[in-house]
Amino acid sequence: MSDSIVVIQCAGSKQPNAGHLQSSDGRKVMFVSNPQLAPPSSDYNYARPDDLADTGRSWREELQRYNREPDDNPLGLLPAWRLYQNPAYELLYRKCGPDNLYILSAGWGLLRADFLTPTYDITFSGNAKKFQRRYQRDHYSDFRKLPDDTAKPVVFFGGKDYVGLFCELTSRVQGPRCVLYNANNAPKAPGCQTRRFHTYTRTNWHYEAARSFVDDKIGI
């Protein structure tokens, strides 16, 4: 098991069998950043995570309730570490376990690796479509599942678009925080150390960094 808390950003490619939250009429809900701009669909109701469900509670509250009492998980939601297709998430889970691995989700916030998570289509990427893209100025009531009294070092594997959210959602923890990066200049990461990971990979370089961590090729 890892002596550090590892946080890795989410990914756009979800597992094809990922489950959905459902509205009271049984329709699946697809969470996006801007439902009004999403393409028409007969398969989904579109919503933001903090929109109200037909229960009068927000979808975020519904997800919290579902995780408290999953009752054999009838919706088939996947734990966060299994939601994404890239094998780096499973590699990190096997090294760190559920207590030391967290996923930074653009839709839901900072999640434990074993938090049951519905599929969604929200990202900070500048290449995303308008209905998918979350901006730093957007208001989300993000989950903060990493306890404030965490004293272990916390290391972040992710792109510069996600650094701001990482810094915000870990700002209360007691342990030191480290942000890895691969650009010529370190990102702005208030209260965090920054450490360059040297690689020729530019797109999704953080997966290579995660694999190096799993193989004990980089120490944190």
- Does residue 150 lie in a domain region? yes
Question: What pTM value is reported for the model?
Answer: 0.96
Q: At CA 11, angle to CA 188 and CA 92, rounded to 5?
A: 85
Give 69's contacts (C-beta < 8 A, 6+ positions apart).
none
- Does residue 63 lie in a domain region? no
Q: Is the C-alpha dihedral spanning 30, 34, 39, 45 positive or negative? A: positive
Total number of domains constituting the chain: 1
pLDDT number for residue 4:
95
Detail the DSSP E strand segments found in 15-152. Answer: 28-32, 44-47, 78-79, 101-105, 109-112, 116-117, 120-121, 143-144
At residue 1 the predicted structure's pLDDT band, cuts being 50, 70 and 90, is low
Other C-beta atoms closer than 10 Å to the C-beta of 165 total 22
Beta strands 78-79; 44-47: pairing state: unpaired
- Does residue 84 lie in a domain region? yes
Task: Name the token pair of 204.
Answer: 């999704």
Compare 218 and 77 and report the one with higher pLDDT: 77
Residue 155 has pLDDT above 80, yes or no: yes
Residue 207 has pLDDT above 90, yes or no: yes
> How many alpha carbons lie under 13 Å from residue 143 in its C-beta half-sphere?
27
- Does residue 111 lie in a domain region? yes
- Does residue 28 lie in a domain region? no
Domain that holds residue 196: 5-16+79-214
pLDDT number for residue 121:
98
Residue 176 has pLDDT above 60, yes or no: yes
Residue 201 has pLDDT above 70, yes or no: yes
- Does residue 165 lie in a domain region? yes
Task: Name the token pair of 189.
Answer: 């990461």
- Does residue 122 lie in a domain region? yes
- Does residue 192 lie in a domain region? yes
Average per-residue pLDDT in the chain?
96
Rounded Cα distance between 64 and 94, Å, is 25
